[in-house]
Structure 1
Amino acid sequence: MSRYFNIFFWEYDFYNPHMLWLLLAIPVLLFFWEYLQKTRVGQLKYANSEQEQLSYSIGWVRYIRWGITTCYAMSMACLILTLAEPYNTSIDPPKIDYKNGIDIILSIDASGSMLAQDFDPNRLEVAKRVAKKFVDSRKGDRVGLVVYEGEAYTACPATLDYKLLKDQITAIEPGYLEPGTAIGSGLGVAVTRLRSDSLPSKVIILLTDGSSNTGPDPMEAAELAKQKKCKVYTIGVGANGMAPTPVQTPFGVIYQNVPVEIDEAILRDIAKLTNGKYFRAQDEKSLEKIYAEIDKLEKRKMEDQHLAVEPPLTLFPFFIWSMLFSLAAWGVQRLKFKLDD
């Protein structure tokens, strides 16, 4: 409650500080006020000496008059401070609200190689698990899902229904699409999901464990993302060296140690062209750190773009005190007149 009556002016800044120069006029006005009071011609004349006249007066009335003058001076000062448009600097600034700040599309590679077991239990399951944790960390951002192999489809448009989205992430399995790794398709479909009514900040997180071997040129999709002012973060998933990977044989699927071949050059180029960043995840912990870093990067970006809301004016304390000082002066003045009578 005290902040509503706080007129400690050193705790304030002012939008119109030039108005504070008017404070210098207050002592000048008081000087002229006192001068006029002393030189005012009265209607009663006394033949007695000045000492005798002073003996008739009441001493404390003089202090009342000074109090009235002081109240009027304080009233004028508070009114001038009100005109200077104060705002309180001692109040914590409002926290930035990121709600409705970002549109995010997760584009996840579901090709057969994502079942490689250099992650526990495999790359795809870890990618799904970490993606769901990332979704759980969102607060008001619309998130969608694109799944791709040799072609791509939208598993879930950008939505605030995180339960539905996580159900779709859980359902990702290889083998439902044409075989292969079409990075261009995965990126292109993700870009198309960011419609013209998308939020100002648009992000795609593209995850893959290989190199593009079918579909459109990934750099053409990256150009489209750039045109739509969409930032693309690319993630290469896979340990260094060899990884146990399922291989189709005439006798069924067997696991063989296959070299991890991630086209890091194209992933870096996509990220660079769209003002994003490329990451390499070699285990689940590093993948979690990557998502956390992307989250930090986007929040920092939103802070940089966020137009700081000007602190609200704090006129009430100064205005109410101006009125209180005026009322006090007026009330005491009326009481003084009654006493004089």
Structure 2
Amino acid sequence: MFRFAQPEYLYFLLIVPLIWVLYFYSVYKKKKNLAKFGHVKTLEPLMPDVSKYKPGTKFFLQQLALIVLVFLIARPQMGAKVETVRKQGVEIVVALDVSNSMLARDINPSRLEKAKMMLSKLVDELDNDKVGLIVFAGDAYTQLPITSDFVSAKMFLSSIDPNMVPTQGTAIGRAISLAMNSFTPDESADKAIIVITDGENHEDDAVAMAAEAAKKGIRVDVIGIGSPQGSPIPMSNESSDFRKDNEGNVVITKLNEQMGQEIAKAGEGIYVTADNTNSALRALTSQIKKMKKSDIESKVYSEYDEQFQGLAWIVLLLLLVDIFILDRKNEWMKKFNFFTK
């Protein structure tokens, strides 16, 4: 596995475009100042030792050396040894509703965006635990298999939108069923399913599925997101147009708290309503901390070999070539004329 031990140094690469802008500006100013003394073609015979291409070549070599140097100080490393590490933790699978109703904006900035922000903060609270991610609407799909790689979990979160599930609807039961089959076979670890939805279940018996999960020792917590008063559904995240029914009336989606509470009760979990505060996240985090932790295996790269040596040689070679390239024409090379007989 490849990584940078100090990736913050890669921000120095942002300096490179600025240097190029300054270089081209200096070339422009130099030509403009030279033009004050006469036409460039007329002045060229008066400057026989000035090379057109060497200054640009030297600048290119210097910039290439600078870029490689930045990668060098960021300390590239290659994973050399994989170990199975056992840590104390729990297993959590999040089932996130991505139906069109989750675009409603009765929660800022929208139900879906609020859910994603909550999950991102929840992942930050996890330590040695494992997390998986399922998205669902009219059907359910595994977005991220259960893992301890929280960086990947947050990366997948950022890309979630309703277009990921082609079948619209709200099949909470299918999501719970898929989540039950996503855990590892380890029976000693506490397991929990967190369902984040507005509760408008139209597809299956989610309460029965939650009860089945509870029988297997898997708790089902539900976060209801939205408002009981309801809100129109935008056509997309950026749209100001709203979805309408067959009669041309604007569709209003409302949080079904009763459904969420029934699912949580059957799943022996808790039901909390998400609003514009972090109260739901605090309640959920508190429940996770109460879960019984057990040994969880995860594969990690325990040793990394430094890979900077090759880059150091490249920088040295580029700088040596730059030193030996003079700004002026080479006197020895001027004796050879390859373009005349």
Tell me the TM-score normalized by structure 2.
0.54
Q: Aligned partners of 2:267, 2:87: CA distance in 1, in Å?
A: 23
State how far apart, in whole Å, the 1-side matches of 2:120 and 2:91 are.
Answer: 16
Which of 108, 129, 148 matches 2:96?
108
Task: Output aligned runs, 1:3-152, within 5 Å.
Answer: 100-152=88-140
Query: Hey, what does 1:204 align to over in structure 2?
Result: 193
How far apart, in 2, do the equivalents of 1:270 and 1:242 lie?
Answer: 21
The answer to whether the 8 A contact 1:242-1:258 is kept is: no
> Partner of 1:213 in structure 2?
202
The structure-2 alpha-carbon separation of the partners of 1:189 and 1:269, relative to structure 1 and needing over 3 Å to count, comes to same
In 1, distance between residues paired with 2:220 and 2:99?
20
Q: For residue 221 of structure 2, what is the aligned residue in structure 1?
A: 233
Residues 309-331 of structure 1 show CA distances to partners (whole Å, capped at 9, x for unaligned) of xxxxxxxxxxxxxxxxxxxxxxx
Residue 263 (structure 1) aligned with residue 256 (structure 2): yes
Partner residue in 2 for 1:3 = none
Give the share of equivalent positions with the same residue, in percent: 33
Distance 1:222 1:162 in 2: 26
Q: Over aligned residue pairs, what C-alpha RMSD do you find?
A: 2.6
1:276 aligns with 2:266: no
Offset, 1:271: 1.3
The answer to whether structure 1 residue 158 and structure 2 residue 151 are counterparts is no
Inter-partner Cα distance in structure 1 for 2:95 and 2:228: 23
SS of alignment partner, residue 211 of structure 2 = helix
The alpha-carbon deviation at position 183 of structure 1 amounts to 0.9
Question: Could you say if the C-alpha distance between residues 282 and 239 of structure 1 is closer, same or farther in structure 2, counting changes exceeding 3 Å?
Answer: farther
User: What is the deviation of 1:154?
Assistant: 0.7
Q: Tell me what 2:287 maps to.
A: 297
1:272 partner letter: K
Question: Per the alignment, in what secondary structure is the counterpart of residue 302 of structure 1?
Answer: coil
Give the C-alpha shift of residue 143 in structure 1. Answer: 0.6
Partners of 1:101 and 1:138 in 2: CA distance: 9
- Cα 1:290–1:229 change in 2 (3 A) is same
Describe the shift of the 1:213–1:253 C-alpha distance in structure 2 as closer, same or farther (beyond 3 A). farther
Task: State the TM-score, normalizing by the size of structure 1.
Answer: 0.54
- Rg comparison, structure with higher value: 1
CA distance in 2, matches of 1:189, 1:161: 20
Q: Secondary structure at the match of 2:163?
A: coil
Supply the distance in 1 between the matched residues of 2:222 and 2:187 (Cα, whole angstroms).
21
CA contact (8 A) 2:233 2:252 kept: no
Describe the SS at the equivalent of 2:91.
strand
Amino acid of the residue matched to residue 230 of structure 2?
Answer: M
Q: Is the 8 A contact 1:100 1:142 kept in 2?
A: no
**Contact persistence 2:92–2:194 (CA under 8 A):** yes
User: Is the CA contact (8 Å cut-off) linking 1:103 and 1:199 kept in structure 2?
Assistant: no
Shift of 1:222: 1.1
Deviation readout 1:223-279 (Å, 9 max, x if unpaired): 32112201111111102313132259xxx9822665442332232222112221111
- 2:181 corresponds in structure 1 to 192
What's the CA shift for 1:158?
A: 1.3
Distance 1:180 1:221, change over 3 A: same
The SS at the match of 1:158 is strand
Larger helix proportion of the pair: 1
Partners of 1:138 and 1:254 in 2: CA distance: 39
Following the alignment from structure 1 to structure 2, what is the Cα–Cα distance between the partners of residues 243 and 259?
Answer: 5
For 1:294 and 1:225, the matched residues in 2 are separated by 18
Please give the alpha-carbon distance, in whole angstroms, between the structure 1 residues aligned to 2:96 and 2:110.
14
Unpaired stretches in structure 1, ≥5 consecutive residues: 1-97, 306-341
